[in-house]
Chain A
Amino acid sequence: DGGITQSPKYLFRKEGQNVTLSCEQNLNHDAMYWYRQDPGQGLRLIYYSQIVNDFQKGDIAEGYSVSREKKESFPLTVTSAQKNPTAFYLCASSPGQGRLAGMNTGELFFGEGSRLTVL
């Protein structure tokens, strides 16, 4: 079945360590996104990518980095510069700007999330 796979589901990190969260999609979507979710704050956009080899900062990009070398993959690295990394991270994809014909596209499809805890 087509979908978005995030791994690992749970991750523990010591302070000062970088950690990379994986996100893979087989939906043939152009656009991919990373959100951070904290209780009571909804989802906040970290980075997004509309096309391979291009990505843009979202609202809370500091302390994070991404790459988009393949259409299917959009890994997120949480660096030691991120002051409060403990959170639930959600990856999403959408068909993107080029696939809006018929008004039946445009929504976000989400993975099941990765919970990062800094010890």
Chain B
Amino acid sequence: AQSVTQPDIHITVSEGASLELRCNYSYGATPYLFWYVQSPGQGLQLLLKYFSGDTLVQGIKGFEAEVKRSQSSFNLRKPSVHWSDAAEYFCAVALYNFNKFYFGSGTKLNVKP
């Protein structure tokens, strides 16, 4: 079955520490890939997206993600976390016709001072 998996429900990191949020997808080929961030009670904001080409993608707010086709993963990274990064992060995929976008269950990030 097609799916997007975010195995970590909650993650806590110290401010200034590095961050990696995991995302795995299971589709026949590499779909279009996205990471979104959601602050409490708000809509989702796009952090970055992958359509094709370079497998290392840069996004806003210092985030980056890398596509690893052999592992069907699209992990989100940030070298130094800021307290304002505390939010919920969603990985998403879109199939080639863009009719549907599928979302993972989300990872809540808590940042310790």
**Residues of chain A whose beta carbon lies under 8 Å from any beta carbon of chain B:** 4, 6, 31, 33, 35, 40-45, 48, 50, 56, 58, 90, 92, 94, 96-97, 100, 103, 106-113, 115
A42 and B100 form a contact (CB under 8 A): no
Chain B residues within 8 Å of A, Cβ to Cβ: 4, 6, 9, 32, 34, 36, 41-46, 49, 51-52, 90, 92, 94, 97-106
> How many angstroms between the C-alpha atoms of A8 and B104 in the bound complex?
26
Separation in Å of the B77 CB from the closest CB of chain A? Answer: 20
- Our pick among A35, A97, A111 for the contact of B97 (Cβ within 8 Å) is A97
Partner of B43, one of A42, A50, A106, A110: A110
Contact A97 B98 (CB under 8 A): yes
Q: Are B94's CB and A113's CB within 8 A?
A: no
In contact, A107 and B46 (Cβ under 8 angstroms): yes
A111 in contact with B49 (CB, 8 Å): no
How many angstroms from the CA of A56 to the CA of B99 in the assembled complex? 10
Q: How far is the CA of A111 from the CA of B38 in the complex (A)?
A: 11
- Docked-complex contact A112 and B43, CB < 8 angstroms: yes
Docked pose: A90 CA to B99 CA in angstroms = 17
- Chain B residue at minimum C-beta to C-beta distance from A99: B98
- Return chain B residues, CB-CB under 8 Å to A40: 9, 105-106
Not counting A40-B9, A94-B98, A109-B46, a sample of 19 additional A-B residue pairs whose C-beta atoms are within 8 angstroms of each other reads A4-B43, A31-B98, A40-B106, A41-B105, A42-B104, A42-B106, A43-B44, A44-B103, A48-B99, A48-B100, A50-B99, A92-B44, A106-B94, A106-B98, A107-B34, A108-B44, A112-B42, A112-B43, A113-B43
